[in-house]
Amino acid sequence: MANINKLKRLRGAAGLSLRELAAKAGVNQTTISLIETDKRKGQIATLGKLAKALDVPIDELLEFMDTTASDRGRYGQEVKQAKAEQSGELRATAATQAA
């Protein structure tokens, strides 16, 4: 059981089925399954959606990032953008809950 993929563990901890996470994140169920079984790496946009749906920092899912592209600098920019978007959403949610 120790070898369970981290994404699958996070999904389980959130109490979400594969279908529920797919619907909540707006990501194809097959894509999530392939990432969970280490048969596919995820794109930053996909990992950002999954992180948001699981309410975890995108850093938690970066190990699943597709780093096969030759332009690695692009990934750095995409990660920064995803973190900034997530940070802004978290601040907005906290402000709404405080009101």
Whole-number pLDDT of residue 50: 95
Whole-number pLDDT of residue 71: 44
Is the pTM of the predicted complex or chain greater than 0.85? no
Per-residue pLDDT of the chain (99 residues; tens, 9 = 90+): 345 688 999 999 999 999 999 999 999 999 999 999 989 888 888 999 999 999 998 888 877 666 555 445 555 666 677 777 777 765 665 566 666
Whole-number pLDDT of residue 18: 96
Q: Which domains does the chain have, with CATH numbers?
A: 6-98 (1.10.260.40)
Q: At what angle do helices 44-54 and 72-98 cross, to 10 degrees?
A: 20
Maximum Cα–Cα distance across the chain: 46
How many CB atoms lie under 10 A from the CB of residue 10?
20
